[in-house]
Amino acid sequence: MAWRNQGLTVGLVPTMGYFHNGHTSLIDMARAQCDKLVVTLFVNPTQFGENEDLGNYPHDFDGDCTKAETHGADLLFAPAPDAMYAPDHATWVTVPTLGKHLCGASRPIHFQGVCTVVTKLFNLVQPTKAVFGQKDWQQLAILKRMVRDLNMPIEIIGHPIVREADGLALSSRNAYMTDEERAAAPAIRQDLLKLADKVKNGERDSAAAKQWLEKEYSSTLPMGIVDYIELVTPDSIEPVSTISSSVLAAVAIHVGKARLLDNILIEV
């Protein structure tokens, strides 16, 4: 608050740690746009469902501290869970209409946990701008709607997906994969690009496009287990039946112990 009282712009990059180049790219973007920069590191328990990987989520606190400092963070905020949630915590923030599909369908409490913890971080840090990655496109759309609907004076900025040289979207959960699984995983992106070409070349039936992509993955990524393949409106995250304007193709696929997300915005 003291920084804001001085008229300084304050950037915020919320993370769950185990920094890779995707995280540091978010930090770099915020650093370039703000006078002061806060990076938060908090593995939020309320966005994990039963039998998810909360207890095994990868961490490297010392390495994260070094990377945050190297990339220009003025403050690294890493609270304990009991500092963020009282034992009788009973207040939640939800954007239910945007959370019905994609990740929200198989992880029903996830976005409630995300919105609640991000609201808490916004209240604590009082940022001018906050940066989130587009790999979690649905999350980004939900947070933009939350900020708009609750009149929060914060600009939400999306950063393009950061990828490995072979196209795999960077994720802390990539560390869960074996060498064999890691070698196969770039098919997620490669087949999304093929789908985009099909749509640009005239495919307009969403069901046919999704069926084609699922069949493609069964061939190129046979070890993968599809959570969802969906074509949705980019802002409201509503499934489309006929592709008549820009559409987001989004997938979540289990490869071994890793649940991998990716998406591509297809301009029609």
Contact by Cβ (8 Å): 151, 34:
no
Sign of CA dihedral 187, 188, 189, 195: positive
Domain map of the chain by residue range? 2-159, 172-266
Which residue is catalytic, options 23, 71, 110, 159? 23
Would the annotation count 135 as a binding residue? yes
Q: Domain 2-159, what fold?
A: Rossmann fold (3.40.50)
Q: Which CATH architecture has domain 172-266?
A: 2-Layer Sandwich (3.30)
pTM: 0.96
Would the annotation count 21 as a binding residue? yes
State pLDDT tens for residues 3-53: 988 999 999 999 999 999 999 999 999 999 999 999 999 999 999 998 899
Would the annotation count 190 as a binding residue? no
Contact by Cβ (8 Å): 220, 213:
no
State pLDDT tens for residues 78-111: 999 999 999 999 999 999 999 999 999 999 999 9
Report the candidate in 47, 241, 53, 60 with the shortest Cα–Cα distance to residue 139: 47
Would the annotation count 110 as a binding residue? no
State pLDDT tens for residues 191-219: 999 999 999 999 999 999 999 999 999 99
Q: Which two tokens stand for residue 116?
A: 């609640």
Q: Is 159 a catalytic residue?
A: no
How far apart are the C-alpha atoms of 118 and 123, rounded to whole Å? 9
Residue 231, H or E segment: strand 224-232
Give the amino acid at 113: G
Residue 108 CB contacts under 8 Å (≥ 6 apart), including other chains = 49
